[in-house]
Amino acid sequence: MAKMGGSRHLKRLAMPRALQLPKKGKTWVVKAMPGPHPLGRSIPLAVILRDYLKVAGSLWEASKILARGGVLVDGRPVREAKFAVGLMDVVSLPAVGQHFRILLNQLGKLVPHPVEAQEVSFKLCRVERKKSIAGGKVQVGLHDGRTLLLKEPHELRPRDVVKLSLPHQEVLQVVPFREGSLALITGGKNVGKVGKIVKILELRSIQPNTAVLEGRGGERLETIVSNIFVIGEEAPLISLP
């Protein structure tokens, strides 16, 4: 009989690169369920509680914490242990007053970065697609699976970043993808590095467009534009490691 759907299990040897866990010592790892982020760019919420933050000693304990509504993701309680948490998501533990934003380190691993309480009220989302729909509105798709309906005309373009209030999803600020903006590199050999966009190279060919950045130490960084996540103009809108 043929299989119906994908496997619900995941071995550590085959786990996504984004997970910062040892591959040896244990056989299995919690597999994230389908959700706002793809499997290769997400961490199951139970893994964050058990293996990263060490607030639970087992999957059972993590599930109990979640069942009581003890964990907020982007300002809303999440009770599913396999919920996929990804880049720029805000994870809060109100009972202990701890808050974290999911960022990338320079090994390409997703890690929870501690933030202050004032940063919990917003998150940054990259615009992935935009189209006009009936009723004079614009439908905007964001990197974390959200969809915004905005009045037309709107200045948003793909690869721009919006600062969203949490949990109400109001657009507080638009950070354009352009030369002079600050950006986080989300892929390639320079993953996890931050720099100012110096030049955007539109190749007008089958090759992807690229961007040149100046790193925090003055070094030259180059990557394809799909790896660019704008985080501010003159200064970053979020705290960084």
Is the domain of 88 the same as that of 167? no
- Please report, for the domain that includes residue 221, its CATH number: 2.30.30.30
Is the domain of 17 the same as that of 95? yes
Question: Looking up tokens 């109400």, which residue turns up?
Answer: 168
Is the domain of 147 the same as that of 91? no
- Please report, for the domain that includes residue 139, its CATH number: 2.40.50.740
Is the domain of 112 the same as that of 77? yes
Out of 148-157, 195-204, 227-236, pick the least confident: 148-157
Q: What is residue 5's predicted lDDT score, i.e. its pLDDT? A: 65
Q: What is residue 2's predicted lDDT score, i.e. its pLDDT? A: 55
Tell me, yes or no, whether 60 lies in a domain: yes
Is the domain of 92 the same as that of 165? no
Q: Which of 118, 140, 163 is the last residue of a domain?
A: 118
pTM: 0.92
Is the domain of 168 the same as that of 152? yes
Q: What is residue 3's predicted lDDT score, i.e. its pLDDT? A: 59
Tell me, yes or no, whether 6 lies in a domain: no
Q: What is residue 66's predicted lDDT score, i.e. its pLDDT? A: 97
Tell me, yes or no, whether 193 lies in a domain: yes
Domain count, the chain: 3
> How is 72-129 classified by DSSP, letter by letter?
EETTEE---TT-EEETT-EEEETTTTEEEEEEE-TTS-EEEEE--GGGTTEEEEEEEE
- Please report, for the domain that includes residue 88, its CATH number: 3.10.290.10
Q: In this predicted model, what pLDDT tens digit does every residue of 156-176 receive, in sequence order?
A: 899 999 999 999 999 999 999
Is the domain of 82 the same as that of 158? no
- 192, 104 in Cβ contact below 8 A? yes
Q: Which of 96, 118, 140 is the last residue of a domain?
A: 118
Cβ count near 103 (within 10 Å): 24
Tell me, yes or no, whether 5 lies in a domain: no
Tell me, yes or no, whether 223 lies in a domain: yes
Q: Which of 153, 175, 197 is the last residue of a domain?
A: 175
Tell me, yes or no, whether 239 lies in a domain: no
Q: Is the pLDDT of residue 183 over 70?
A: yes
Is the domain of 78 the same as that of 128? no
Is the domain of 160 the same as that of 209? no
- State the average pLDDT over residues 132-161: 89
Q: What is residue 136's predicted lDDT score, i.e. its pLDDT? A: 83
Is the domain of 86 the same as that of 161? no
pLDDT band at 181 (very low <50, low <70, confident <90, very high): very high
Q: What is residue 211's predicted lDDT score, i.e. its pLDDT? A: 96
CA–CA dist 116, 105 (Å, integer): 19
Is the domain of 26 the same as that of 109? yes
- State the average pLDDT over residues 48-55: 96
Tell me, yes or no, whether 198 lies in a domain: yes
Q: What is residue 94's predicted lDDT score, i.e. its pLDDT? A: 95
Q: What is residue 154's predicted lDDT score, i.e. its pLDDT? A: 74
Tell me, yes or no, whether 4 lies in a domain: no
Is the domain of 79 the same as that of 171? no
Q: What is residue 241's predicted lDDT score, i.e. its pLDDT? A: 85
Q: Which domain holds residue 148?
A: 122-175
Q: In this predicted model, what pLDDT tens digit does every residue of 57-114 receive, in sequence order?
A: 999 999 999 999 999 999 999 999 999 999 999 999 999 999 999 999 999 999 999 9
Q: Is the pLDDT of residue 228 over 90?
A: yes
Q: What is residue 4's predicted lDDT score, i.e. its pLDDT? A: 61
Class of residue 80 by CB neighbours under 10 A (exposed 0-12, middle 13-18, buried 19+): middle
